[in-house]
Structure 1
């Protein structure tokens, strides 16, 4: 997919357009190998142009219609998403007004990307179930799961990093779910020893190289990226996914997700789990309407994957959302 890029930063030419970019050249070269030509332009632009700000309505406290009415009173235009009325978008220049509003202070809204919201919805948590969010901070998906469960059942939000754990607890309190959500500070890779196969549903939104959050205007977002970091993340992710699958009841569901493009953190981690739990788990197909997606890869750098990995989904970034990789595991009864 195009010529080789050299040097620390990238000058990308595609479709007759040239754009100088501060993004690391090795990252861009890998990205061009991964993204189909038909999607390249909007993916590339997403790293350099402003994106609409996405929020989610806290349906435990209010309803979308009341939030829409208040935004209209404030003179803020918004957009909704088909089939997901609790998601709303505002222009980048209105983001600070929403964050500083009484709506946000009262915990009626939470800033959460569309991809993140679609990922949590994919878990399909139901009222009365026992659910685990293994890598929960800062808490957006945990909050959404609490809304989906209507604050009934049991929801455990775990975080391994102490500073992030206390941020998680603060977010849960601000949104009014601290009395429903249980929290734990622990390495997710050992949770299966404590809980066994006791959860109906598990979300593993694993720590990763955060490639989908890179932006040219925020050098800090990619300052520490390197191929070595991808390898380090993969080792941790394999342990988290294995632990998560051990925590799921027979017949249960696990969602594995990262905000990385790297196949080493995605397809290779999923492939490892399929081999390790051969005969115990399978991948379910993922269908997401309205967002630009591509299926899991059939191969990467001359390494072929089984056809089953095509059931994974890679949400591609554009003006509406960040990118995200999602795999949906089902544990056999």
Structure 2
């Protein structure tokens, strides 16, 4: 079953030069990526145990804890002893980039505003070497307890869990955090699969607009919660400019204290943020944002690093 015609039309408008090649990536399963958790084990030990379970992971060049296996090995990976113990965490490579760009350090106060299921929170706890304070927020009951269980199994002792609406955090915790991660709820366009119609069954431009309203309110909360001099990373797994550059552009207009920071990542499948969509022109600094292009091993992703000056 083909992807929605309107989605394809919009996608071609965003990526006019590469659309055909990029659209092909929606037709086949991607490799399964995972991260070895240094809070629980070391790389050599983990790789030896994975080998004993019949897995032959391939290393990811830009992050020493990241590996991938063929899509058909997902079940073997999820039923491995390492997965059960929290020694590894299955996570998309694009998602791993978010904590690396935000760069939390030991001793800092960090907020993950929409944290479930917890992969990025757990990764940040490891980067912080379990030193400091990590607030993780999730409003949905089922997702909250899944988040809590993942972080506890993964050994994130600095994580403090809050079942709360992220839109209210900024007013409750003004200027409290050194770094804030907002991987916002979105229309999940990057997870569409032509062979799985359920992945795009409820997609529409109306949903994009609804998501954009929620994303902006979360952005406002994130900005309020950030200390002067602090950094905020905004991310989505959507291609829609309304959910990405437009949300940040609106925040830049309202908050002159927020500046866009350049992002440097060691991968080639990237595209700069767009500065115009249809008749709407955005702040030119949004070209510093990064759009991860989908490949056989990576999902599409949007990343924008902001600093409160």
Q: Shorter-chain TM-score: what band?
A: over 0.9
Q: In structure 2, the residue corresponding to 1:224 is in which secondary structure?
A: coil
Q: What is the rounded CA distance, in whole Å, between the counterparts of 2:281 and 2:185 in structure 1?
A: 25
Check whether the contact 1:125–1:145 (CA below 8 A) recurs between aligned residues. yes
Q: What is the rounded CA distance, in whole Å, between the counterparts of 2:246 and 2:206 in structure 1?
A: 16
Q: What is the rounded CA distance, in whole Å, between the counterparts of 1:42 and 1:95 in structure 2?
A: 25
Deviation at 1:75, TM superposition (A): 2.9
Alignment deviations for residues 215-243 of structure 1 (CA, whole Å, 9 cap, x no partner): 11221111111100000000011110111
Q: In structure 2, the residue corresponding to 1:322 is in which secondary structure?
A: coil
Q: In structure 2, the residue corresponding to 1:47 is in which secondary structure?
A: helix
Q: What is the rounded CA distance, in whole Å, between the counterparts of 2:131 and 2:222 in structure 1?
A: 22
Give the equivalent residue in structure 2 for 1:148: 127
Matches within 5 A, 1:167-206: 167-177=146-156, 179-206=157-184
Give the equivalent residue in structure 2 for 1:318: 295
Alignment deviations for residues 20-42 of structure 1 (CA, whole Å, 9 cap, x no partner): x52111111100111142x3244
**Is 1:134 aligned to 2:113, yes or no?**
yes
Q: In structure 2, the residue corresponding to 1:22 is in which secondary structure?
A: coil
Q: What is the rounded CA distance, in whole Å, between the counterparts of 2:170 and 2:29 in structure 1?
A: 41
Check whether the contact 1:295–1:314 (CA below 8 A) recurs between aligned residues. yes
Check whether the contact 1:254–1:328 (CA below 8 A) recurs between aligned residues. yes
Give the equivalent residue in structure 2 for 1:6: none
Matches within 5 A, 1:2-13: none
Give the equivalent residue in structure 2 for 1:15: none
Give the equivalent residue in structure 1 for 2:306: 329
**Is 1:31 aligned to 2:11, yes or no?**
yes
Deviation at 1:190, TM superposition (A): 1.0
Matches within 5 A, 1:29-68: 29-37=9-17, 39-68=18-47
Check whether the contact 1:123–1:201 (CA below 8 A) recurs between aligned residues. yes
Q: What is the rounded CA distance, in whole Å, between the counterparts of 2:282 and 2:84 in structure 1?
A: 47
Provide structure 2 residue ranges, at least 5 long, that are not aligned to the other structure. Answer: none
Deviation at 1:276, TM superposition (A): 0.7
Check whether the contact 2:11–2:19 (CA below 8 A) recurs between aligned residues. no
With structure 1 as the length reference, what TM-score do the two structures score?
A: 0.90
Q: What is the rounded CA distance, in whole Å, between the counterparts of 1:169 and 1:220 in structure 2?
A: 27
Check whether the contact 1:202–1:254 (CA below 8 A) recurs between aligned residues. yes
Give the equivalent residue in structure 1 for 2:50: 71
Q: What is the rounded CA distance, in whole Å, between the counterparts of 2:212 and 2:120 in structure 1?
A: 22
Deviation at 1:174, TM superposition (A): 2.3
Check whether the contact 1:211–1:222 (CA below 8 A) recurs between aligned residues. yes
Provide structure 1 residue ranges, at least 5 long, that are not aligned to the other structure. Answer: 1-20
Count, aligned residues: 309
Q: What is the rounded CA distance, in whole Å, between the counterparts of 1:48 and 1:60 in structure 2?
A: 36
Check whether the contact 1:42–1:317 (CA below 8 A) recurs between aligned residues. no
The structure with the greater share of residues assigned to strand is 1
Deviation at 1:125, TM superposition (A): 0.3
Q: Which residue of 285, 288, 304 maps to 1:308?
A: 285
Question: Greater Rg, structure 1 or structure 2?
Answer: 1
Q: What is the rounded CA distance, in whole Å, between the counterparts of 2:161 and 2:292 in structure 1?
A: 29
Deviation at 1:71, TM superposition (A): 2.1
Deviation at 1:69, TM superposition (A): 1.7
**Is 1:265 aligned to 2:243, yes or no?**
yes
Q: What is the rounded CA distance, in whole Å, between the counterparts of 2:159 and 2:228 in structure 1?
A: 24
Check whether the contact 1:133–1:142 (CA below 8 A) recurs between aligned residues. yes
- Report the RMSD for the aligned CA atoms in angstroms: 1.2
Give the equivalent residue in structure 2 for 1:160: 139
Q: In structure 1, the residue corresponding to 2:82 is in which secondary structure?
A: helix
Deviation at 1:305, TM superposition (A): 1.8
**Is 1:22 aligned to 2:2, yes or no?**
yes
Check whether the contact 1:211–1:259 (CA below 8 A) recurs between aligned residues. yes
Deviation at 1:163, TM superposition (A): 2.0
